[in-house]
């Protein structure tokens, strides 16, 4: 039987990096003086799927910090208990998938509690690819305050 201990160790290490990201993000959202993106590599590929005004691909933390976050941050409320809470991790080597539940609000305190599927590539202790997928119709309603109509039959 082959010894898979090295591969298991890489998987466990990758999941630990992703868990640290979740911990740091929750702490920052709740007022801690911490960089929630400290686990991201300088050249991270940061992807938000969908067709919302915040959807897109950013290459490098500089782009995330200067383009994505200034657009996203003003749309979100801040309150104790807000965060992204992982429900499940699936890891294989340097790749980790996570299912998470978000708890938050928009700036008018309207609840924004979405379910996320997140993909991470981890290399040398840093996240090199981050892909965020979620219910964008909920984002349109809560974050962008857009009224959606059901299609006629």
Whether residue 24 has pLDDT greater than 70 = yes
* In contact, 139 and 50? CB cutoff 8 Å: yes
Q: What is the pTM of this model?
A: 0.85
| Local confidence band at 140 (pLDDT 50, 70, 90 cut-offs) | low
Contacts of 59 (CB under 8 A, 6+ apart): 43, 44, 45, 46
Q: What is the pLDDT of residue 78?
A: 75
- What the block records as the tokens of 17 is 């990096």
pLDDT of residue 79: 75
Please give the distance of CA 135 from its chain centroid, rounded to a whole number. Answer: 13
Which of these, 63, 132, 127, lies nearest to 98 by C-alpha position? 132
pLDDT band at 43 (very low <50, low <70, confident <90, very high): very high
Q: Given a cut of 70, is residue 52 above it in pLDDT?
A: yes
Read off the pLDDT of each residue in 89-100 and give the average, rounded to a whole number.
96
């Amino acid at each position: 039987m082959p010894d898979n201990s090295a591969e298991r160790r890489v998987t466990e290490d990758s999941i630990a990096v992703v868990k640290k990201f979740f911990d740091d993000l929750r702490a920052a959202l709740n007022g801690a003086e911490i960089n929630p993106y400290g686990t991201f590599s300088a050249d991270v590929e940061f992807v938000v799927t969908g067709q919302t005004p915040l959807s897109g691909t950013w290459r490098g933390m500089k782009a995330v910090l200067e383009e994505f976050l200034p657009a996203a941050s003003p749309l979100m409320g801040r309150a104790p208990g807000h965060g992204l809470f992982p429900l499940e991790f699936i890891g294989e080597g340097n790749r980790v998938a996570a299912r998470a539940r978000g708890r938050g609000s928009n700036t008018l305190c309207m609840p924004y509690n979405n379910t996320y599927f997140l993909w991470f590539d981890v290399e040398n202790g840093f996240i090199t690819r981050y892909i965020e997928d979620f219910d964008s119709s909920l984002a349109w309603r809560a974050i962008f305050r857009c009224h959606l109509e059901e299609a006629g039959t």
